[in-house]
Amino acid sequence: MDDFASESDSDYTSYWRDWFISSRGNEYFCEIDEDYLTDRFNLTGLNTEVQYYQYALDLITDVFDLDCDDDMRETIEKSARHLYGLIHARYVVTTRGLAKMLDKYKKADFGKCPRVFCHSHPLLPMGQTDVPNQKPVKLYCARCEDVYNPKSSRHAAIDGAYFGTSFHNIMFQVYPALVPPKSAERYIPRVYGFRVHAPAALIRWQNSKRTDMLRRLRKMEVESGFKGENGEDLEDLDDEEEDDDDDEAAGLLDEDVPLDHDNDVVIAGGGQTNVS
């Protein structure tokens, strides 16, 4: 959120909220009503989270008149953006805030689900935590109930705490008609028209990965601690299988195998057959 085009003092002092909302990368935000901003009850506790809190609030509410140098101005501006985001997280779960975000949702201002079977269903911004400066904003699809990254790098840099973890769920509780039917369409893997048996494929993949891991650990002389169904160490079972294979191969070599007479052909296991 720190990447903003420079504006003149009059542009963002007299109309700071208009400037903020219209700035590139801030399309996810709605405009907070001035009545909400001037009610100190709504801002409880934020003064301890924002540097130069009062100056930042004055800037947001267009009453900032401090004569300061450019560095100080930029610091206050940064604090104002952060403060607006924190207030925004509280505002969007109010009746007015939900209504404004609903309008943006219907216009797909937050983007559309990239999943093919969701058929471009609109997304909602959400946070993975309510603690600022932890995780960036994500986009939630109510049809597939999955979470996606924003396409724009500007949007991807927005703090997820500016929307919070509850907003998208509250939206669908307040407006239950918005809850879409879950998509019954699912991609089915096929090979030459035949469905791939998913559990079997998964088990083969898991066994392959486990075997590879055991081999790597054995080379490093590290005990994996993996246990078999009966509690045996898998390394011991692996060694036994290898020993059995070696014994079987040795047994074939030591076994009294009849020599090749005339048209007799020796087969595995010492048996023989006639070739006419």
- At residue 217, the pLDDT reads 82
Domain annotation for the chain: domains and CATH numbers: 9-91 (1.10.1820.10), 100-178 (2.20.25.20), 190-266 (no CATH)
Q: Are 205 and 189 in contact (CB under 8 A)?
A: no
CB atoms closer than 10 angstroms to residue 51: 12
The pLDDT mean for the chain works out to: 81
Instruction: Give phi and psi for 139, each to the nearest 5.
Output: -120, 130
Q: N- to C-terminal Cα distance for the chain?
A: 86
Q: Residue 6's pLDDT band (boundaries 50, 70, 90)?
A: very low
Q: Which of 142, 100, 102, 90 is nearest to 119 (CA)?
A: 142
Give the integer Cα–Cα distance in Å for 1 and 153: 10
Q: Are 67 and 46 in contact (CB under 8 A)?
A: no
- At residue 253, the pLDDT reads 44
* DSSP symbol at 130: S
Q: Which region among 7-21, 113-127, 131-145 has the lowest average model confidence (pLDDT)?
A: 7-21
pLDDT digits (tens, 9 = 90+) for 214-268: 888 888 877 656 555 455 555 554 555 555 545 544 444 444 444 444 444 443 4
pTM over 0.75: no
Give the integer Cα–Cα distance in Å for 101 and 105: 6
More confident residue, 255 or 111: 111
- At residue 15, the pLDDT reads 85
- At residue 252, the pLDDT reads 42
Give the integer Cα–Cα distance in Å for 162 and 159: 6
Percent of the chain with pLDDT over 90: 55
Instruction: Give phi and psi for 203, each to the nearest 5.
Output: -65, -45
* DSSP symbol at 194: E
Residue linked to tokens 């924002």: 50
* DSSP symbol at 128: S
- At residue 248, the pLDDT reads 47
Mean pLDDT of 43-50: 95
- At residue 261, the pLDDT reads 45
pLDDT digits (tens, 9 = 90+) for 51-70: 999 999 999 998 887 778 88
pLDDT digits (tens, 9 = 90+) for 168-224: 999 999 999 999 998 778 888 888 888 877 677 778 888 888 888 888 888 887 765
- For residue 16, is pLDDT > 60? yes
Q: Residue 85's pLDDT band (boundaries 50, 70, 90)?
A: very high
